[in-house]
Structure 1
Amino acid sequence: MKNAIQKSWLGGILAAIAASLCCIAPLLAVFGGISGAATYFNWMEPFRPYMIGLTILIFAIIWYQQLATRQGQQGDCCEPVKRSFWQSKKFLLIVTLCSGMLIFFPYYSSLFYRTPRPSAAAISQARFSYVKLNIKGMSCADCTKHIDGSLLEINGVATSRTSFEKSETIVRYDPAKTNADSINHKIKEIGYQPTLIKNN
């Protein structure tokens, strides 16, 4: 029984990780310096609803087994079996909450991306150019925050507007400080595939 429960919650955690892996992977590029991490797992995005459903089903079964076992022991005349922390409801609650945080990760992942803003003085004094790029490799709308946040780290980039629906980004930059090639390289560095559409 102990091994069955342990295998079940491990399966639940793995399913929760798989459900949000397309949004967790880009963070590897930011914090771990793993180039191309965003594109390794974007094929999993269509399976996200099924992974979420599987996670919920697994934890529903585990909680049912846990509560049913406790009720069965209370009904027996024998002294209840003492459980270790790893078999307790407290530990199961922690694992359940962790899985929930993994499932909802795409909704708060933007908190982990830095979005520096250029000063108003720098914007007003600069003569800007624009570059429009088609971007492949975005698996969900949250990828736009990853791209915009990374591009705004480039010295000379004033604004970045990425659209998931159009699969493109429009970047306004100061040509005295950066150029379209640097912007293109940055997008490749974080794991996406840019193609130049327009530069002026």
Structure 2
Amino acid sequence: MNNAPAQPSKSLFGAGLLAALAASLCCITPLLAVVGGLGGAASSFAWLEPYRLYLVALTVAVLGFAWYRQLRPAPAAADCCAVPAQRSFMQSTGFLASITVLAALLLVFPYYGAALYPTAKPTVSVATAPGGAPIWQTRTYRIQGMTCEACARHVESAVQQVPGVQSVAVSYDQATAQVRYNSAQARAAQVESAINSTGYHVQNPTR
């Protein structure tokens, strides 16, 4: 007779991991877009952002229940000579600990993901005005769809590739990008096109 306590199932582990992944997809995909060249796919999961807190709560609840089932004491065996059932690796405490650590890394990704972006230097234009000085312009673009710092870094990386851009400052919480560029080489439409290529969308630009 097997009196071993029920162990957490693989489906329970998977549910916790998937919930953690869903909670962070809106911030992971911008990095994947830069590294993998996915372009407009960056904002594909932005719709998940309003549900992030619920997904985090679901992750904690599922993994908490898994740990409860893993660590609760075994009931007293009716047969003192009964041999405890062998646990598979995927039912072990070590495997559950690995799943928990991975889920935690996914959940906190929005707080460290921006640091993983490759460094891109602006391509500063050498073109000048007839008087001999660059024609510097600063323009502020309002951007729709950014949800975290990783989104802002994705936009910065794209705009910095436009020849003539000197500096880019993107704020996801204010939904703006302030770009300084040499208008003798770059055009406002080029900057707007670079932003739109990330999957986020420029609203009416303002000076």
Q: 1:72 aligns with which of 68, 74, 94?
A: 74
TM-score, normalising length from structure 1? 0.84
Q: What is the Cα deviation at residue 86 of structure 1?
A: 1.3
Partner of 1:197: 205
- Once residues 16 and 41 of structure 2 are traced to their aligned partners in structure 1, the CA distance between those partners, rounded to angstroms, is 23
Unaligned runs of 5+ in 1: none
Please state if 1:102 is matched with 2:106: yes
- Once residues 172 and 136 of structure 1 are traced to their aligned partners in structure 2, the CA distance between those partners, rounded to angstroms, is 20
Larger radius of gyration: 2
AA aligned opposite 1:153: Q
Q: Deviations over 1:17-76 (max 9, x none)?
A: 1111110121232123223223321111111011001100100100110112xx317x54
Q: What is the Cα deviation at residue 148 of structure 1?
A: 1.8
Please state if 1:185 is matched with 2:187: no
Alignment: residue pair count = 193
TM-score, normalising length from structure 2? 0.81
Classify 1:119/1:14 alpha carbon distance in 2 versus 1 (closer, same or farther; 3 Å).
closer
Partner of 2:31: 27
Residue 118 of structure 2 aligns to a residue in which SS? coil
Please state if 1:151 is matched with 2:155: no
Q: What is the Cα deviation at residue 176 of structure 1?
A: 4.0
Unaligned runs of 5+ in 2: 1-5, 127-132
RMSD over aligned CA atoms reads 2.5
Classify 1:116/1:39 alpha carbon distance in 2 versus 1 (closer, same or farther; 3 Å).
closer
Quick check: which one's helix share is greater?
A: 1
AA aligned opposite 2:44: Y
Partner of 1:133: 141
Q: 1:127 touches 1:174 (CA, 8 Å); kept in 2?
A: yes
Which aligned runs of 4 or more in structure 1 are off by greater than 3 angstroms? 117-120
